[in-house]
């Protein structure tokens, strides 16, 4: 049974159906079957039961009528609200945050993702222990079990707090290992795919990298672990393209904090590709949700390119309307399809152009006898011009940081002709939550 309580203010009531539809998709992802829906517009949530008393009684009648065994609220409930509603309706009650955490627990594949989800679940559970264990909150006593008088509640709280500390330490170790990996990638142009869940990020990575092993599924949160592939963008250039975990409306803040290390891949990227499902009726709201999470992560000023995906799903007249709307709202966006042949050619060309703008045009002078370095420049860079000046080879080229460093070690004279040579700032250690 799905329950929504939109605010009477603004346009929340108009979005209620779409939000309930998304909750239904979350329920389907978790393996539940939706048998009914209930909505009440509120000025403010009731402190004891979230819904009004009359609506809670109506919910109880609907549950008995439909035979529902689970109630899913579209908003996060306080521990007291969840307990009170359960007591009245006599059925298990979950809120949106708990449902998302449950989905993440079933979708997590790597040990890192499982630790991140467990940490978020424990942080969600900790303040709810008081309500969950009131029947056990008594002092233990009797022959053989007399002790310091620690309650069951205190024992559980202490164990959970210890487990949270252990998980944070292990995730900090994982982040240090990731930092070592990122150090080795600094010479590459790094691009991160971000966006609302099921916007098609994994499909874009799969097609761009031509890798059928990239997991793709038409469900919410199909991918939790970051996945990086080297992508050829033409003219001998490659970029490292990373798929990150998708966002969603009302994403539990514990989950965002737990996945901070994973999302640091986006923080270290030279460019963010914000993928938007252009065929979704509320794509503008989804865009705002993702931009809000990125701002919370400190990525609001990161270089960003909006990618309107799934254009193949739109009829011609709707596609034209979307193009006009996007042109006014977010100019210079790209319109792509991960399904149609050539549907990502514009994105590939845009990445090539972005990479070229990042690399300055250099004049390199080195001895003509140093054939090894000349061959390396042709192999790993873009040589625009080459001439001989007595016993010196003079080349105009765009080069990556690693090749520039190797040329300097070889004694080459390098002059910037156009652009600014890029110098990476030192990377600050990730904050541990």
- Look up the CATH number of domain 2-96: 3.40.50.11060
267 known ligand binder: no
Backbone angles phi, psi at 58, to 5 degrees: -60, -40
198 known ligand binder: yes
Structure tokens at 39: 């909505």
Structure tokens at 413: 């004279």
200 known ligand binder: yes
- Rounded to an integer, what distance in angstroms lies between the CA atom of residue 412 and that of residue 408? 5
pLDDT in tens, the chain (433 residues): 999 988 776 665 667 788 889 999 999 888 899 999 999 988 889 999 999 999 999 999 999 999 999 999 998 888 889 889 999 999 999 999 889 888 888 877 778 888 888 888 888 888 777 555 444 444 444 444 444 445 667 778 888 899 999 998 998 888 788 777 766 666 678 999 999 999 999 999 999 999 888 888 777 787 777 788 999 998 778 899 999 888 888 887 777 776 766 677 788 888 999 999 999 999 999 999 999 988 888 888 889 999 999 999 999 999 999 999 999 999 989 999 999 999 999 999 999 988 887 777 889 998 888 888 888 888 878 888 898 888 888 999 888 777 888 888 888 898 887 654 443 333 333 332 2
- Rounded to an integer, what distance in angstroms lies between the CA atom of residue 233 and that of residue 270? 15
244 known ligand binder: yes
Contact 276, 394 (CB under 8 A): no
Q: What is the DSSP letter of 151?
A: B
Per DSSP (E only), the strands in 109-226 are 190-195
311 known ligand binder: yes
259 known ligand binder: no
- Rounded to an integer, what distance in angstroms lies between the CA atom of residue 395 and that of residue 296? 45
pTM over 0.85: no
Edge-first strand order for the sheet with 70-73 is 37-39, 2-4, 70-73, 92-95
317 known ligand binder: no
Which CATH fold topology does 360-418 show? Answer: Alpha-Beta Plaits (3.30.70)
95 known ligand binder: no
Q: What is the DSSP letter of 410?
A: T
94 known ligand binder: no
Buried b (16+ CB within 10 A) or exposed e, 244-262: bbbbbbbbbebbbbbbbbb
Which CATH fold topology does 188-356 show? Answer: Rossmann fold (3.40.50)
Edge-first strand order for the sheet with 361-367 is 382-389, 392-398, 361-367, 413-418
Same fold, 2-96 and 188-356: yes
222 known ligand binder: yes
292 known ligand binder: no
Question: Does residue 236 come out as left (phi exceeding 0), alpha (psi in the -120 to 50 range) or beta?
Answer: left
202 known ligand binder: yes
221 known ligand binder: yes
195 known ligand binder: yes
332 known ligand binder: no
245 known ligand binder: yes
Residue 426: CB atoms within 10 A of its CB come to 4
All structural domains of the chain with their residue ranges: 2-96, 108-169, 188-356, 360-418
309 known ligand binder: yes
């Amino acid at each position: 049974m799905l329950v929504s309580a939109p605010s009477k203010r603004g346009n929340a009531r108009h979005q209620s159906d779409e939000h309930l539809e998304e909750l239904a998709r979350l329920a389907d992802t978790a393996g539940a079957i939706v048998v009914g829906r209930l909505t009440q517009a509120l000025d403010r949530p009731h402190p004891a039961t979230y819904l009004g008393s009359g609506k809670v009684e109506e919910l109880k009648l609907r549950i008995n009528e439909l035979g529902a065994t689970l109630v899913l609220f579209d908003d996060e409930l306080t521990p007291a609200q969840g307990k009170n509603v359960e007591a009245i309706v006599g059925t298990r009650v979950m809120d949106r945050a708990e449902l998302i955490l449950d989905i993440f627990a079933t979708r997590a594949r790597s040990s890192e993702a499982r630790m991140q989800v467990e940490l978020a679940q424990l942080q969600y559970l900790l303040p709810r222990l008081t309500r969950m264990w009131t029947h056990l909150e008594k002092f233990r006593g009797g022959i053989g079990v007399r002790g310091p008088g620690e309650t069951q509640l205190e024992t559980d709280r202490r164990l959970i707090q210890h487990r949270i500390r252990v998980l944070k330490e292990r995730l900090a170790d994982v982040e240090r290992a990731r930092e070592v990996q990122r150090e080795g990638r600094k010479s590459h142009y790094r691009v991160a795919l971000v966006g609302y869940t099921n916007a098609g990020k994994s499909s874009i990575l799969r097609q761009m990298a031509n890798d059928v092993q990239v997991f793709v599924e038409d469900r919410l949160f199909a991918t939790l672990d970051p996945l990086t592939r080297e992508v050829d963008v033409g003219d001998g250039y490659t970029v490292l393209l990373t798929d990150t975990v998708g966002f969603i409306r009302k994403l539990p803040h514990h989950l965002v904090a737990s996945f901070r290390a994973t999302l640091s891949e986006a923080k270290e990227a030279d460019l963010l590709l914000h993928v938007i499902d252009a065929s979704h009726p509320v794509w503008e709201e989804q865009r705002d949700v993702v931009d809000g999470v990125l701002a919370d992560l400190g990525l609001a000023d990161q270089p960003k390119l909006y990618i309107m995906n799934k254009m193949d799903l739109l009829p011609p007249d709707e596609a034209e309307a979307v193009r006009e709307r996007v042109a006014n709202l977010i100019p210079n966006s790209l319109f792509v399809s991960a399904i149609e042949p050539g549907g990502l050619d514009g994105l590939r060309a845009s990445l090539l152009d972005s990479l070229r703008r990042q690399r300055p045009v250099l004049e390199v002078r080195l001895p003509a006898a140093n054939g090894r370095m000349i061959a390396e420049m042709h192999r790993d860079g873009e040589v625009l011009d080459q001439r001989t000046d007595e016993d010196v080879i003079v080349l105009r080229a765009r080069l990556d940081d690693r090749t520039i460093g190797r040329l300097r070690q070889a004694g080459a004279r390098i002059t910037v002709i156009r652009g600014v040579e890029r110098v990476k700032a030192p990377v600050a250690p990730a904050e541990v939550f």
